[in-house]
Amino acid sequence: MQTNSPELETKSANKDLWLFLIVLDVIFLCVFGFFLYKYFAAQVLNPSSSAPAPVVEEPAQPADPLPEIAEEVVTVTEDNVVTPAPAVKEEVIVPQVVVPAAPAEVAVAEKQTPAKQSIVVAPAVANSKYRRVTFKWFEPAETVAIVSGFTNRKAQALKKVGDHWETTLSIAPGTYKFLYVVDGKNTRDPYAEEKDGRSVVVIK
């Protein structure tokens, strides 16, 4: 007669349990290894996908080099000290820049010789929106300066060259009003067009 020993049955049950656990561990390792392989493969084959996209900043637009400004009376003393007065706004034509306002009495040179060219505009240069403009003052003086919107309301001194005074500035095309400050007195250009008590220059 054959009998089953309890000890043999216990060993058989333990063996089945260990086999089940081993199979379960193998399945878990396979699944975990698959996802781990997939993650590292994505990192190696396409590293840029995980990195944040670079931010490209657009270059800032340059400010208008000659913005609209308020008029201002400028007085130059013997010590070359510029004293601005309260500003008075004036309507301008774009890209025209308002020049400093002239006082009630604006001196005008008595001599007017059409043959003299007090404003010389150089030819346009490729890839440049500015023009080189030379201003000349022919009358006798101790100090001469020019003031306008293209000088940012500051008196720009002229240099003595031979028998006249001159300076060369880079100016954008437009219509501008300006004055000379001759020995501390605001004076119009006798060889240029005049409007509202100031000289006018048109740069094309």
Closest CA to 77 of 189, 170, 162, 186: 186
In sequence order, the 6+-apart residues with CB closer than 8 A to the CB of 36 are none
- pLDDT class of 66 with cuts at 50, 70, 90: very low
Query: Can you give the pLDDT at residue 69?
Result: 44
- In the structure encoding, which two tokens stand for residue 153, read together? 């309301």
Tell me: the pLDDT tens digits for 154-172? 999 999 999 999 999 999 9
Tell me: the pLDDT tens digits for 19-46? 888 998 899 888 888 888 888 887 777 6
- Phi, psi for residue 24 in degrees, rounded to 5: -65, -40
Cα 25 to Cα 115: distance, rounded to the nearest angstrom = 106
Tell me: the pLDDT tens digits for 70-116? 445 555 555 555 555 555 455 555 555 555 555 545 555 544 445 58
Query: Can you give the pLDDT at residue 59?
Result: 58
Query: Can you give the pLDDT at residue 70?
Result: 45
Mean pLDDT for the stretch of residues 59-71: 50
> What is the share, in percent, of the chain residues with pLDDT greater than 70?
60
